[in-house]
Structure 1
Amino acid sequence: MDQAQHPIHHLKSKGFARFWQDLKNVEGTGYEHSICTDVQSMLASVSQVATELAGRAGSHWLDEVSADLPSYVQVYVQWNDAGRNASDQAEKIRRDRLEQILDTNRKWIKEWKRLHRAGNAPASATEREFADRVYGHFADLAEKHPSTFRSLKSAVRSFRASSGH
């Protein structure tokens, strides 16, 4: 399997990346309460999926991710709770929290590359299931708030096209 078509590669390089781009787009103000609650719910669902699938055959990368997701969710909450105003201080806090989120992403990418160093490792059933279910949660969020999560919506469409969904 071409690495670019691997469902986890798509998830880390497009899914999460586009989600973070949507966060960056509102770095100055954060999300209104209802959207923030929906994002927290989506991240909690992703964390639950990772926890549920961790430890299964072919889930080595997912084991790493599932250990990080609870703190990842907390960093998101800190990102959004930096304040409702567009002050320089709130924006700096959001920028710092987003950098923490991106550091976690870089850690996940490094681990995935280490595990797939050979290059053409096929996706395990566990990896495919994780990507499918996470993209389901991404799709729910993007469909509920289409004007807020435009980048994420694009990643969902791309995943569906590449995976035949």
Structure 2
Amino acid sequence: MRTTKSRSCSIVAMIMSALLAVILVAGCSPRVTGTIDVPVGDDLTTTAVEGTVVSPYGNTVALSIFKGEGKYPANFSLTMTVREVLDTRTIRGEIMPPIPFGELQPGNKVFLYLCVPLSEKADKLSNGTIVYKGDGYPQIVVGGKYDVTGVLQPGWQDYPFVYVTTASQFKQASAGN
């Protein structure tokens, strides 16, 4: 009789411990408390003239880059820390080592143009973090590290301007980066 009572108390104690652990874990993780509006970025394809787009540097870029097609394969790859999401199409980042250009140093900025825009709404978590999202993109947070590939703007000056043609070219950085 004592053995049976002891076992049932032990089982109840294990179940209560597991339930308490689940409640503590669920209560500690940040939750979505609301959404914020993300400014809509310029769709550079609307400025298209005869199959080209005028870039921020004044040079023309083939319209096929924005459509993710044609003879313009990704020619640029880097790991970056997101410093600011300016709008649904533009992200400012900080280049992380290894630096793809000899003249740049860690801490130099890069601007990304997202051919596939982010959502116009971002989630605000209970801890104040803003989580940007979009079809095919990972959760994007300021301060997060990401691996990015894209097409480098011809004739870039001061800082690289990179066209990210598909959402799959923007990925959460692996632990090794």
- TM-score interval (norm. to shorter): under 0.3
More strand by share: 2
TM-score when normalising by structure 1:
0.25
